[in-house]
């Protein structure tokens, strides 16, 4: 058995691609637009997951062309990514307008949320980084 992908439904392709690719740093692997079924499937992978030459675990963004209200993003749970420097990633996301819901006060873990209310957990690779400001003093925002 091999993990393939996790699917999340998105309401706005442009906002979602901006978040997942431009801000979070994933890369688009492939895209399928199905006119008959009226949907688009966009597969994304983390750059580090593609390095071994095998098929990477992916996030599948599913966009249904006919408007549909999605709720309960929190019921999905979350996606998790290991990062080399959690402080640098959180600073970059915050500078890009992403709210840090659970700051990396411990140098180990943070949570942010996609435009479609999908929780994204960020975990520091290896040992936790030494706690530092502004993260130590930053309060949680909302829930994750």
Of 62, 59, 66, 45, give the one whose Cα is nearest residue 119: 59
* Catalytic annotation, residues: 121
Q: What is the pLDDT of residue 74?
A: 53
Give residue 117's pLDDT.
Answer: 85
3-state secondary structure of 34: strand
Domains of the chain from N-terminus onward: 1-66 (3.10.180.10), 77-144 (3.10.180.10)
Query: Which among 55, 60, 3 has a CA at the least distance from the CA of 26?
Result: 60
pTM over 0.85: no
Structure confidence at residue 67 (pLDDT): 82
CA 18 to chain centre: 11
- The predicted structure's pLDDT at residue 69: 77
pLDDT of the chain, 144 residues: tens digit per residue: 566 788 898 989 999 999 999 999 999 999 999 999 999 999 999 988 866 555 678 899 999 999 877 776 655 668 889 999 999 999 999 999 999 999 999 999 999 999 988 889 999 999 999 999 999 999 999 887
Residue 26: its pLDDT value, please? 94
């Amino acid at each position: 058995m091999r993990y393939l992908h996790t699917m999340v439904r998105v309401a706005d392709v442009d906002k979602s691609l901006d978040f997942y690719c431009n801000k979070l740093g994933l890369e688009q692997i492939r895209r399928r637009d199905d006119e008959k079924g009226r949907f688009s499937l966009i597969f994304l992978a983390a750059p580090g997951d593609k390095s071994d030459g095998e098929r990477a675990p992916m996030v599948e963004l599913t966009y249904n062309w006919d408007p549909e209200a999605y709720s309960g993003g929190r019921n999905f749970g979350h996606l998790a990514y290991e990062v080399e420097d959690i402080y640098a990633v959180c600073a970059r996301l915050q500078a890009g307008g992403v709210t840090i819901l659970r700051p990396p006060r411990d140098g180990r873990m943070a949570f942010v949320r996609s435009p479609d209310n999908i929780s994204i957990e960020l975990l520091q690779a290896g040992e936790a980084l030494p706690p530092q400001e502004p993260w130590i003093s930053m309060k949680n925002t909302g829930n994750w």
